[in-house]
């Protein structure tokens, strides 16, 4: 029952993914409750909203405001600028090919706290470079596209074995395409 | 008609994927060879400890190509602010310091011109291969960027490599650019490489994603006119 | 028109059920409960994706085509052409997948088909079958658009006079939404044409493969694919506008200026939303990435403020006859909204960094395809057979039960996604072994969904055959 243990570990840790999941569940439940209460009031034909256009405007402005705030807060948190201001501690070159990750660079020589720049490309089809922490949670990813080099900077916080999985479907052995980076 | 347009575009484009043989060399350390230059003898580590080095390999008896290459290189550097050393090394054991002195006079630059008895060891590490053909050498043009720890930062090849220098400079400074491209820009490609800044600029290929909306307006217009006229 | 709609319903539901079975097989394989060869798994994956969109899109079209008869001379022969081309296209896809071994996923992302273990002819035949589907749908969309424009001039069909403040003559909301959606559909079909032409050129150019720009191809692929499935949903929404007032014994909706603005804006914004598929391609220009996030967030605002509120306002405090049709529509809108929440969370660059191509993606699109779009379709199907004289008042529990099990099925996807289980895997390695357990539960829920849909299908198909037969006499 490794799987169950895994779920419990993750549930208790504030992983970015679980934050998104909670937001989703809470908003989803609110929507369901709204629909449920409207459904409850749909049988007798007795009530009606006196000023629907005003409420509509309020809803419109409210949602627009929430969206704007969320966008303003999340837009700068993108991987295109992360750790851009300083020299990376290590540079690792990643060449994806069916069905291998060819890593060159100090793969086994990363210390906790290091900022590592990954230069990711592919020599055949599109692949996805997905970096999993030792708990099995993705911490960063970038696409590997033939003809292009995508660069990604990641800060390794904890020691341990990090796994690379393929995040873009690339053929029959897509699920078996993995690599390893150790931080110690 | 659309097919003809696309065919026409196809003729204008012919790119081949150029995969990164460079990746096998980056991050590798090069041997700390001793260099005899016009300024005196020193070890390679002594120069790189002051400034990073951009190194290229030529031979002075070269009938033409090396000179063309070096000229292009010096032309390119004239427009740029240089924070690193440029080293021109001879890979030909017959070359002497006098030959290199003559070369410097021709080029009139303040680069480092050097020879080394250990050059073969360095050439092996940077993947420089050459063969002799009738007393001349058949060889690639290589530009190798070394950082202060004698590590290869970039390794680019041939005349196109000169254009990538702005990007190499960024890599030497550790400046983060989330993207770069290996392919040369064709007509249908999304990006054009800008040699002045080392950045990628949007190119004609992206315009292709505007074709569907434009064609749609046309189609809707035609349907509108047709259906009205049939009605009337 | 009744007969061809009945024919669509029968064919559509059978193919849909078949694709559901394939989906369950994949989940079982991922759970490790059955042993599926990887190649076979990805063939099924390809088929499931293509087959679902390949049948659900025309099924939605058939619905709006049927309701269009209320306003204009609804086109019959483009509908028949659409039917013929869809059936041929799907048969060809089945053929390429199972005999040609095609396993490139629906999106045949350049240059994957060259490297995949697929027969060369299968790739070509696949492109041909996509072209056939596209042609059929193009003719159909153009035909419908033509018949609308015959009665309503373009600016009136798009409700521009309402934006300018003129209220009469009123454009029915159904016509407005259908027109803008059809224009959107035509746009992505043209993008599909461009894609196929580029592919064919690449194949002709075999001596020098790889001259196409993979980034351009990816842009075109998602402009085509993402926009098409997005527009598919709006076809269902058009039926919602058409039918909902009658469910609540209220007069038909009238187009107001904000409705016109919203539905002119949505297809335009949706065109830019596909950029969110390329967030993790750092080579894509930064402006496009930001436009992608902003467009993805703008698109649902009018949907909530206009469509959702209108529907809730109609239902609130009125006397609704809760039969199967209205339940399907009501729950469909509910899950459309919930799926939308999942979608915009993923369309945020910071979240996409950890959710991109995890099972979160299938989670959100299953929410508004299985529980949104399919519910809208089932809603109009129930309405259609009710018009044919089959009462479904006592069956409103069916949509409700389907949504409970369906949501369970989908929740497994969401949880997997939040815990970084990647999508399009036939086997979950130990590092993401959570996915196995959740896939097993997903399969169990999906089996219930299948059984319930099978009940619905038997009920509906028998009624449809009656309609088909009655008119045939």
* DSSP characters over chain B: -HHHHHHHHHHH--------GGGGTTTPBPP--EEEETTEEEEHHHHHHHS-EEEEEE-TT-SSHHHHHHHHHHHHHHTS---SEEEEEE--TT--HHHHHHHHHHHT---EEEE-TTHHHHHHHHT---EEETTEEE---EEEEE-TTSBEEEEEEHHHHHHTHHHHHHHHHT---SEEE-SPP-TT-SEEEETTTTEEEE-GGGGGGGHHHHHHHHHHHHHHHHHHHHH-
User: pLDDT value at position B9?
Assistant: 44
Torsion angle (degrees, nearest 10) of CA A8, A12, A16, A17: 30
Question: Is residue B206 within 8 angstroms of chain C, CB to CB?
Answer: yes
Report CB contact under 8 Å: A169, C105: yes
Closest listed residue to residue A163, CA positions, set A146, A140, A142, A147? A140
> C interface mutation test: which of B13, B182, B183, B224 has the most C CBs within 10 A?
B224
Q: Calculate mean pLDDT across residues A17-35.
A: 90
Distance CA C340, CA A66 (A): 15
Report CB contact under 8 Å: C301, A60: yes
Report CB contact under 8 Å: A174, C356: no
Closest listed residue to residue A91, CA positions, set B151, B18, B19, C259? B151
Of A93, A149, A151, nearest to B176 by CB-CB distance is A151
Of B16, B189, B212, nearest to C223 by CB-CB distance is B212
List chains touching A (3+ CB pairs under 8 A). B, C
What's the pLDDT tens digit per position in A90-143? 889 898 888 889 888 888 889 999 999 998 988 888 999 999 998 888 999 999
**CA-to-CA dists, residue B121 to A9, A104, B41, B125, C437, angstroms:** 52, 21, 18, 7, 56
Question: Is residue C427 within 8 angstroms of chain A, CB to CB?
Answer: yes
Residue with tokens 């999508």: C423
Residue with tokens 């692929």: C221
User: pLDDT value at position B181?
Assistant: 64
Measured in angstroms, the CA of A148 and the nearest CA of chain B are apart by 4
**CA-to-CA dists, residue B122 to A61, B93, C142, angstroms:** 67, 14, 67
* Residue numbers in B near C212 (CB within 8 A): 188
Report CB contact under 8 Å: A48, C316: yes
The H or E element spanning position C13 is helix C2-31
> B interface mutation test: which of C68, C158, C211 has the most B CBs within 10 A?
C211
Of B174, B175, B179, nearest to A148 by CB-CB distance is B179
> A interface mutation test: which of C357, C366, C441 has the most A CBs within 10 A?
C357
* Residue numbers in A near C424 (CB within 8 A): 169, 174
> B interface mutation test: which of A147, A148, A150, A155 has the most B CBs within 10 A?
A147
C window 359-418, beta carbon within 8 A of A: 360, 414-415, 417-418
Average confidence (pLDDT) per 10 residues, chain B, 232 residues:
46 42 82 88 88 90 88 86 89 88 85 89 89 86 89 85 84 75 61 73 80 89 83 54
Q: Which residues are CB-contacts of C399 (< 8 A; sequence separation ≥ 6)? A: C324, C327, C328, C331, C375, C378
Report CB contact under 8 Å: A145, C218: yes
User: By the 8 A CB rule, do C286 and C260 touch?
Assistant: no
Question: Is residue B79 within 8 angstroms of chain A, CB to CB?
Answer: no
Distance of CA A56 to the CA centre of its chain: 34
Distance of CA A21 to the CA centre of its chain: 11
**What is the β-pairing status of strands B179-181 and A148-155?**
antiparallel
User: pLDDT value at position C209?
Assistant: 54
Question: Is residue B230 within 8 angstroms of chain C, CB to CB?
Answer: yes
Tally the C-alpha atoms within 13 A of residue C23's C-alpha that lie toward its C-beta: 27
Q: For residue A81, is pLDDT > 50?
A: yes
Distance CA C423, CA C21 (A): 19
Report CB contact under 8 Å: A10, C419: yes
Question: Is residue A118 within 8 angstroms of chain C, CB to CB?
Answer: no
Report CB contact under 8 Å: B223, C145: yes
User: By the 8 A CB rule, do C382 and C323 touch?
Assistant: yes
Beta-carbon count within 10 A of B69 CB:
19
Report CB contact under 8 Å: C111, A16: no
Report CB contact under 8 Å: B174, A88: yes
Tally the C-alpha atoms within 13 A of residue A89's C-alpha that lie toward its C-beta: 13
Dig out the tokens for C224 from the structure: 């085509």
Distance CA C346, CA A132 (A): 19
Question: Is residue A62 within 8 angstroms of chain C, CB to CB?
Answer: no
Per-residue pLDDT of chain C (473 residues; tens, 9 = 90+): 788 888 999 999 999 999 999 999 999 999 989 988 888 999 999 999 999 999 999 999 999 999 999 998 878 889 999 999 999 999 999 989 988 888 888 888 888 887 877 777 888 889 899 999 999 999 999 999 999 998 898 888 999 999 988 888 889 999 999 999 999 999 999 999 888 888 888 777 655 555 678 888 899 999 999 999 999 999 999 999 999 888 888 888 888 888 899 999 888 888 889 999 999 998 888 888 999 999 999 888 888 888 899 899 888 888 888 888 899 999 999 999 999 999 999 999 989 999 999 999 999 999 989 999 999 999 999 998 888 777 766 778 899 999 999 999 999 999 999 989 999 999 899 888 888 999 999 999 999 999 999 999 998 888 888 888 775 54
* Residue numbers in C near A130 (CB within 8 A): 357, 420, 422
Distance CA C330, CA C322 (A): 10
User: By the 8 A CB rule, do A104 and B23 touch?
Assistant: yes
Question: Residue A125 class from Cβ within 10 Å (0-12 exposed, 13-18 middle, 19+ buried)?
Answer: buried
Report CB contact under 8 Å: A2, C348: no
Sign of CA dihedral C98, C100, C103, C105: negative
Instruction: Tell me the Cα Rg of chain B.
Output: 24
Edge-to-edge strands, sheet with A115-122: A100-104, A90-97, A115-122, A148-155, B179-181
**CA-to-CA dists, residue C382 to C58, C72, C348, C379, angstroms:** 17, 23, 37, 5
> B interface mutation test: which of C110, C178, C190 has the most B CBs within 10 A?
C190
B window 152-211, beta carbon within 8 A of A: 173-183
Of C213, C290, C298, nearest to A75 by CB-CB distance is C290
Residue with tokens 């990090």: A162
Question: Is residue B212 within 8 angstroms of chain C, CB to CB?
Answer: yes
Sign of CA dihedral C427, C432, C435, C436: positive
Question: Is residue A84 within 8 angstroms of chain C, CB to CB?
Answer: no
Report CB contact under 8 Å: A169, C282: no
C window 90-109, beta carbon within 8 A of A: 103, 105, 109
Edge-to-edge strands, sheet with B53-58: B40-43, B34-37, B112-115, B85-90, B53-58, B142-146, B152-157
Question: Is residue A51 within 8 angstroms of chain C, CB to CB?
Answer: no
* Residue numbers in B near C271 (CB within 8 A): 213
Provide ipTM, 2 decimals: 0.89
Question: Is residue C338 within 8 angstroms of chain B, CB to CB?
Answer: no
Of A3, A47, A125, nearest to C317 by CB-CB distance is A47
Residues of A with CB under 8 A from a CB of B: 79-81, 83-88, 91-93, 95, 102, 104-106, 117, 119, 121, 123, 146-153
Distance CA C207, CA B14 (A): 11
Beta-carbon count within 10 A of C242 CB:
25
Distance of CA C59 to the CA centre of its chain: 10
Q: For residue A8, is pLDDT > 60?
A: no
Closest listed residue to residue B154, CA positions, set B103, B105, B91, B198? B198
Report CB contact under 8 Å: B26, A150: no
Q: Chain B residue with minimal CA distance to C223?
A: B209
Closest listed residue to residue C29, CA positions, set C16, C43, C15? C43
Question: Is residue B188 within 8 angstroms of chain C, CB to CB?
Answer: yes
Of A80, A93, A152, nearest to B27 by CB-CB distance is A93
User: By the 8 A CB rule, do B108 and B70 touch?
Assistant: no
What string of DSSP letters covers B66-122?
Answer: HHHHHHHHHHHHHTS---SEEEEEE--TT--HHHHHHHHHHHT---EEEE-TTHHHH
Question: Residue C251 class from Cβ within 10 Å (0-12 exposed, 13-18 middle, 19+ buried)?
Answer: exposed
Q: Chain C residue with minimal CA distance to B8?
A: C201
Measured in angstroms, the CA of B65 and the nearest CA of chain C are apart by 29
Of A95, A147, A152, nearest to B183 by CB-CB distance is A147
Question: Is residue B4 within 8 angstroms of chain C, CB to CB?
Answer: no
Q: State pTM to two decimals.
A: 0.86
Instruction: Number of B to C CB contacts under 8 A, please give it.
Output: 97
């Amino acid at each position: 029952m490794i799987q169950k243990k895994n779920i419990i570990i993750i549930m208790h840790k504030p992983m970015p993914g679980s934050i998104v999941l909670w937001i989703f569940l809470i908003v989803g439940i609110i929507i369901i409750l709204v629909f449920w209460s409207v459904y409850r009031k749909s049988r007798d034909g007795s009530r009606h909203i006196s000023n629907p256009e005003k409420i509509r405007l309020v809803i419109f402005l409210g949602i627009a405001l929430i969206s704007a705030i969320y966008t303003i807060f999340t837009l700068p948190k993108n991987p295109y600028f992360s750790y851009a201001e300083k020299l990376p501690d290590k540079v690792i070159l990643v060449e994806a090919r069916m069905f291998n990750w060819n890593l060159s660079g100090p793969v086994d020589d990363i210390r906790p706290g290091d900022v590592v720049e990954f230069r990711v490309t592919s020599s055949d089809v599109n692949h996805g470079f997905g970096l999993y922490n030792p708990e099995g949670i993705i911490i960063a990813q970038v696409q590997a596209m033939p003809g292009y080099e995508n660069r990604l900077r990641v800060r390794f916080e904890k020691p341990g074995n990090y796994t690379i999985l393929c995040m873009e479907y690339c053929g029959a052995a897509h699920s078996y395409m993995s690599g390893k980076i150790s931080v110690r | 008609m659309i097919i003809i347009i696309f065919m026409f575009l196809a003729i204008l484009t012919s790119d081949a994927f150029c995969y990164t043989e460079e990746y096998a060399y980056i991050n590798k350390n090069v041997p700390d060879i001793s260099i005899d230059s016009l300024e005196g003898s020193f070890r390679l580590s002594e120069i790189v400890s002051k400034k990073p080095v951009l190194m290229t390999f030529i031979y002075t008896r070269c009938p033409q190509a090396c000179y063309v290459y070096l000229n292009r290189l010096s032309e390119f550097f004239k427009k740029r602010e240089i924070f690193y050393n440029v080293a021109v090394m001879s890979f030909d054991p017959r070359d002497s310091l006098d030959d290199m002195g003559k070369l410097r006079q021709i080029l009139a630059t303040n680069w480092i011109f050097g020879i080394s008895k250990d050059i073969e060891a360095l050439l092996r590490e940077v993947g420089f291969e050459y063969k002799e053909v009738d007393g001349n050498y058949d060889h690639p043009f290589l530009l190798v960027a070394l950082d202060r720890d004698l590590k290869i930062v970039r390794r680019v090849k041939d005349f196109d490599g000169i254009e990538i220098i702005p990007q190499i400079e960024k890599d030497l400074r550790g400046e983060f650019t989330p993207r770069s491209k290996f392919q040369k820009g064709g007509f249908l490609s999304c990006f054009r490489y800008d040699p002045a800044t080392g950045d990628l600029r949007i190119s004609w290929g992206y315009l292709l994603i505007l074709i569907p909306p434009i064609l749609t307006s046309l189609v809707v217009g035609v349907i509108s006119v047709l259906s009205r006229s049939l009605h009337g | 028109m009744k007969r061809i709609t009945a024919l669509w319903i029968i064919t559509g539901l059978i193919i849909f059920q078949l694709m559901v079975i394939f989906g369950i097989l994949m989940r079982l394989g991922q759970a490790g409960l059955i042993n599926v060869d990887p190649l076979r798994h990805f063939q099924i994956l390809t088929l499931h994706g293509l087959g679902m969109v390949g049948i659900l899109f025309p099924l939605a079209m058939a619905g709006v085509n049927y309701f269009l008869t209320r306003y204009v001379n609804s086109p019959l022969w483009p509908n028949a052409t659409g039917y013929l081309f869809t059936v041929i296209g799907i048969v060809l896809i089945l053929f390429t997948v199972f005999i040609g071994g095609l396993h490139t996923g629906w999106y045949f992302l350049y240059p994957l088909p060259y490297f995949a273990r697929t027969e060369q002819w299968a790739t070509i035949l696949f492109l041909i079958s996509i072209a056939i589907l596209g042609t059929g749908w193009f003719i159909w969309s153009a035909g419908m658009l033509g018949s609308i424009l015959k009665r309503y001039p373009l600016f009136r069909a798009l409700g521009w006079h309402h934006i300018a403040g003129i209220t009469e003559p009123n454009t029915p909301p159904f016509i407005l939404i259908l027109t803008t959606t059809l224009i959107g559909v035509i746009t992505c079909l043209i993008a599909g044409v461009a894609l196929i032409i580029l592919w064919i050129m690449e194949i002709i150019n075999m001596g020098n493969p790889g001259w196409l720009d993979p980034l351009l191809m990816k842009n075109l692929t998602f402009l085509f694919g993402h926009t098409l499935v997005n527009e598919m949903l709006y076809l269902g929404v058009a039926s919602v506008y058409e039918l909902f007032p009658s469910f609540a014994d209220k007069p038909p909706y009238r187009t107001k200026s904000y409705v016109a603005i919203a539905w002119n804006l949505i297809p335009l914004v949706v065109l830019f939303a596909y950029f969110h598929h390329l967030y993790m391609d750092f080579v894509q220009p930064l402006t496009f990435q930001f436009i992608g996030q902003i467009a993805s967030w703008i698109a649902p605002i009018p949907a909530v403020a206009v469509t959702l509120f209108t529907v809730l306002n109609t239902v609130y405090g009125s006397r609704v006859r809760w039969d199967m049709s209205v339940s399907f529509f009501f729950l469909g809108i509910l899950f459309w909204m919930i799926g939308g929440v999942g979608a915009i969370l993923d369309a945020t660059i910071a979240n996409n960094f950890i959710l991109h191509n995890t099972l979160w993606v299938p989670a959100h699109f299953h929410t508004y395809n299985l529980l949104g779009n399919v519910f809208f379709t089932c809603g109009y199907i129930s309405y259609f057979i009710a018009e044919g004289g089959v009462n479904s008042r006592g069956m409103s529990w069916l949509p409700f039960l389907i949504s409970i099990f369906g949501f369970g099925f989908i929740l497994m996807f969401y949880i997997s996604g939040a815990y970084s289980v990647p999508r399009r895997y036939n086997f979950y390695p130990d590092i993401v072994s959570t996915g196995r357990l959740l896939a097993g539960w997903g399969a169990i829920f999906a089996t219930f969904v299948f059984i319930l849909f099978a009940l619905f299908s038997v009920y509906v198909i028998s009624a449809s055959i009656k309609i088909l037969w009655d008119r045939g006499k």
